[in-house]
Homo-oligomer: A and B are copies of this chain.
Amino acid sequence: MSENTKYKPLTVESLPASLGKIPEIASCIGADASAWNVKEVGDGNLNLVFIVSGESGSLIIKQALPYVRLVGDSWPLPLYRAYYEYHALTRQASRAPDSVPAIKYFNEQQALIAMEFLEPHVILRRKLILGETVAGLAKFLGVFCAQTAFRGSELSMSSTTKKADVALFAGNVEIPAITEALVFTDPYYKAEMNNHTQGLDPVVDQLRADVALKVKAQRMLQRFASNTQTMVHGDLHSGSIMSTETQSRVIDPEFVQYGPMGFDIGMLFANFLMAYFSQPAHRGDDLDDYQNWILGVIEEIGETFSAEFKQLWASERTGMLYPVALFEEQGHDSTPACDAVLSEIWQDAWAFCGIEMHRRCLSLAHNADFEDIEDTRIRASLEARNLMMGAELVHCANELKSTRAVCELARRYNCKDFL
């Protein structure tokens, strides 16, 4: 887990010789490494990503780089994040089966993970910009969020196992620190690395003058940083999901940490809502249909999450929290307890959702959903709807009664003009 001097970034040329003798890798690709076909497909920002193919099949080789190229210059980032990504993937695979690429090999020193090549999957965000639908998407994501939330908590795990896991992931410092600053604080004042679309100033000024909004965002930062309810993916947006027309997988859990149960699903909703608000710039006659499809996905993710969580509550409550001995074995229904836990998860989720909607337009790392809109006048007007709805979500997180109510809210904001 500590930094090392033997680390060496792979290249298309060096990869076969370096990995050809590793049985876990060669058995998936082919015994004759000299015949492997190697393509580098990463964007070179954070990681090297190779597709390696041979007579037996293909694998993804992902190797961390010791920096991020986000802001022109490079930003050092520890290689040990591959260690946390590997451990996150193994836990996600066991807590939510068939949700992540299968892992074939891990080398800590080389910060390298060999995993299943997902094909013909593409990044979900691209599909949402192109107006493509994915069958079963909502069900997949709702189940993934519920299973990882429930099974990574003391509702399921023993307190001892969970404490050991919390300690392990507490070592993943620098990457979650990006979230701490960029998501929760920078959007709400003129931070150095911020940028926003020209013409958006009136709305941005209004948000940054809203002291109550900042107080709530900082409260959520404390909940994010000082709450270890479950292991969260930490960066669950539509760029961390790969889909075909009928199948989806979650990738890239480098931002893994123990955090609030409502975090992942809240970030996910935000990214669907941003896809929704950006559609008028991407669609033609199919605008209404596709926006309705997105809201349908949001609503079904919410319903699936609650249903799956209740199902796990009824069948897998093996941890120390809300034990069966205290409720069912005393003749007491634990449904009100489950409802109370879910209610708190939803309150967190809507607040995280609103904050994510802000930071993707105001802070450093923007979304292609909006960034791909070349006409800044149109982009600003759509981002304004997104920003104003985000503020309402943060302010009213405790009063929202259902995912459907949030979708209704989105329909209303989708008709408003703020600039």
Contact = CB atoms under 8 A, between A and B. Distances in A.
| Copies of this chain in its oligomeric complex | 2
Interface residues of A, number: 49
Interface in A113-162: 153-154, 159-160
Interface string A198-220: 00000000001001101100110
A148 B329 CA distance: 40
A292 interface: no
A167, A214, A222, A333: residue with the most chain B Cβ atoms closer than 10 Å: A222
Contacts of A227: 226-228
Interface stretch (A93-101, A104-112, A173-181, A383-391): A173-181
Nearest to A336: B215
Contacts of A188: 326
Nearest to A332: B211
A167 B169 CA distance: 8
B173 A214 contact: no
B170 A164 contact: yes
Question: Which of A159, A212, A336: most chain B CB closer than 10 A?
Answer: A159
Given A154-B222, A320-B180, A214 B332 contact: yes
A322 interface: yes
Nearest to A217: B326
A189 B334 CA distance: 14
Nearest to A221: B321
A5 interface: no
Interface string A296-324: 00000000000000000000000011110
A226 B332 contact: no
Contact of A340 (B180, B219, B323, B340): B219
Given A226-B228, A226-B229, A170 B166 contact: yes
A171 interface: yes
A336 B218 contact: no
B320 A185 contact: yes
Nearest to A227: B227
A327 interface: yes
A330 B333 CA distance: 50
A222 B163 contact: no
A325 interface: yes
Contacts of A160: 173, 177
B181 A171 contact: no
Interface string A322-350: 11011101101100110011001000000
Given A154-B222, A180-B320, 20 more contacts: A154-B225, A159-B225, A163-B170, A163-B171, A167-B170, A170-B170, A185-B323, A185-B326, A189-B326, A212-B336, A215-B322, A215-B337, A218-B322, A219-B344, A221-B321, A222-B321, A226-B227, A226-B228, A227-B227, A227-B228
9 contacts: A159-B173, A159-B180, A163-B173, A180-B320, A185-B323, A211-B327, A215-B322, A215-B336, A222-B341
